[in-house]
Amino acid sequence: MAGMAVAAPLRTYGAAEDRARILRAAPAEASLRSSAAVPARVWAYDAQVPGPLLRVRQGEAVRVRLENGIEQPTTVHWHGIRIDNRMDGVAGLTQDAVPPGETFDYAFTVPDAGTFWYHPHNRSWEQVARGLQGVLIVDEPEPPTVDQDIVLVVDDWRLTDDGQIDEASFGHLHDWSHAGRLGNELTVNGRPRFDVPVRAGERLRVRLVNTANARIMNLRFEAHTLMLIAVDGQPVQPRPVPDGELRLGPGQRVDLMIDMSLDPGSRAAFTEVTGGGRLVAGEFVYATDSVARDNPLDAPVRLTTNPLPTRLELDGATRVDLLMEGGAMGGMAGAIHDGKEMTIRQLVREKRMAWAFNGVAGMSEAPLVTAKRGQTVVIHMRNQTAWPHAMHLHGHHARELMRSGAPVTDETWRDTVMLEREEDVAVAFVADNPGRWMLHCHMLEHQVAGMTTWFEVVS
């Protein structure tokens, strides 16, 4: 690699260390809004927002000791890692939540290279919103040659007028039954604005991560051609991003290759445009000189493939429907919760539930599907709500087969799949990772208000 990453603190650790790396979740402070008189009181890993960038090589063993310094039980979920089930960090399903003052040792290997992230999986709607989240990069054995490898964690925060986390609105049923907790402050890498110094002629690998509780980000890099090289950590056939604009749901990641094609001294913004406005998140700030190269970088970066299943046996696949219902303007009459039939009024008033999967609000007794290890599973998700959702599959990556009746041919593997309102999507994956796994909406308020289920892979 010709250059070094300037945009995020890189902390490399790995198998060479025989002690676990300590990751401490605790109260901290962060300057999330530039005009605020005092920093925001947050919860953070290692007092950083986002948490420390964890970086390992593909196939390496990761050892992290979580220390719980917050006042609630917590866990760490390693989002997108095809992980050993016991290390998946799901409170109530794969482990007990870690009480305040206690620790938990995570030890696992990382089969896939790519861009992943980590966050609590207990009261995540509150703990992630307070700042507990970080990025995990798994490096390819031979990373592609780039001048800078940059991580941009895009997040939104709901802050009070004096710039503190808006605690009073945690648990608001309106958020839970509508779009989720949308913020009023956008940050990149925990800062209100994040500029990236570049030189004309440089090639950047940009890893974008949406860690917002609920906001779908429409991100635009102005004046540059973006090549998409990976989605949710998994390499794709490099392809240009139409109009330079990306729609990224909560939990989703993309890796981009961007050549710095403007003249020395230029500036070009990256913006978030969901609100209809053009919110500047940062700029590429060009130096006054350019990079001298012997061989121009004309061939696009091609990432080495990850050890994903090479074949989906669709003929013998186990097929299951997932009907997504509820929410405001959804017309759901009722659902089963904790084994009891309830009307929508009871669900909302007594149980704070607003959504259901296949007629069940919240975790069901029985799994959505039990698959034999190695079996191909097709899940046909039908979003019969008036809201978009970002469905996250644990322990596996899935391929979209069909979207709103049209076949999907791009062969992209994802761990988080977006469904627009009233859209339906069929995904397929090989159930090759034994254990009990979550499938839920990553709009964290939808998750807690009912949009959650699980499936099982047995030997």
Name the residues that contact Cu ion, by CB under 5 A.
389, 441, 443, 446
Q: How many CB atoms lie within 10 A of CB 405?
A: 8
Buried b / exposed e across 432-456, counting CB within 10 Å, b at 16+? Answer: bbbbbbbbbbbbbbbbbbbbbbbbb
Tokens encoding 187: 């940050």
Residue among 205 and 392 whose Cβ is closer to ligand C2O: 392
436 binds, options ligand C2O, Cu ion, none, Cβ within 5 to 8 A by partner type: none
Per CB under 6 A, contacts with ligand C2O among 78-117 are 79
Question: Could you tell me whether strands 370-372 and 375-383 are parallel, antiparallel, or unpaired per DSSP bridges?
Answer: unpaired
Q: Shortest distance, CB of residue 392 to ligand C2O, whole angstroms?
A: 5
Binding segment (CB under 6 A) for ligand C2O, from list 51-59, 270-278, 351-359, 435-443: 435-443
Binding segment (CB under 6 A) for ligand C2O, from list 35-43, 187-195, 296-304, 434-442: 434-442
Residue among 144 and 250 whose Cβ is closer to ligand C2O: 250
**Distance, CA of 230 to CA of 253 (rounded, Å):** 8
Count the helices and strands in the chain (H runs, E runs). 4, 34
Q: How many CB atoms lie within 10 A of CB 33?
A: 19
Residue among 436 and 442 whose Cβ is closer to ligand C2O: 442
Selection from 156, 123, 193, 166 nearest residue 448 by Cα: 123
Residue among 50 and 251 whose Cβ is closer to ligand C2O: 251
392 binds ligand C2O per the rule CB under 6 A: yes
438 binds, options Cu ion, ligand C2O, none, Cβ within 5 to 8 A by partner type: ligand C2O
**Distance, CA of 65 to CA of 87 (rounded, Å):** 12
Per CB under 6 A, contacts with ligand C2O among 55-84 are 77, 79
440 binds ligand C2O per the rule CB under 6 A: yes
446 binds, options ligand C2O, Cu ion, none, Cβ within 5 to 8 A by partner type: Cu ion
Tokens encoding 399: 């391929």
Burial label, 333 (beta-carbon count in 10 A; 0-12, 13-18, 19+): exposed
Q: How many positions of this chain bind ligand C2O (CB under 6 A)?
A: 10
Fill in the amino acid letter for 456: E
Selection from 303, 281, 317 nearest residue 401 by Cα: 317
In this chain, which of 55, 121, 205, 399 binds ligand C2O, going by CB under 6 A?
A: 121
The neighbouring-strand residues paired with 205 are: 149, 257
Binding segment (CB under 6 A) for ligand C2O, from list 168-176, 289-297, 346-354, 436-444: 436-444
In this chain, which of 251, 327, 362, 367 binds ligand C2O, going by CB under 6 A?
A: 251
Question: Could you tell me whether strands 185-188 and 148-157 are parallel, antiparallel, or unpaired per DSSP bridges?
Answer: antiparallel
Residue among 77 and 181 whose Cβ is closer to ligand C2O: 77
Of all residues in this chain, which one has the CB nearest to ligand C2O in the complex?
79
Residues found near ligand C2O in the complex (CB under 6 A): 77, 79, 119, 121, 251, 392, 394, 438, 440, 442
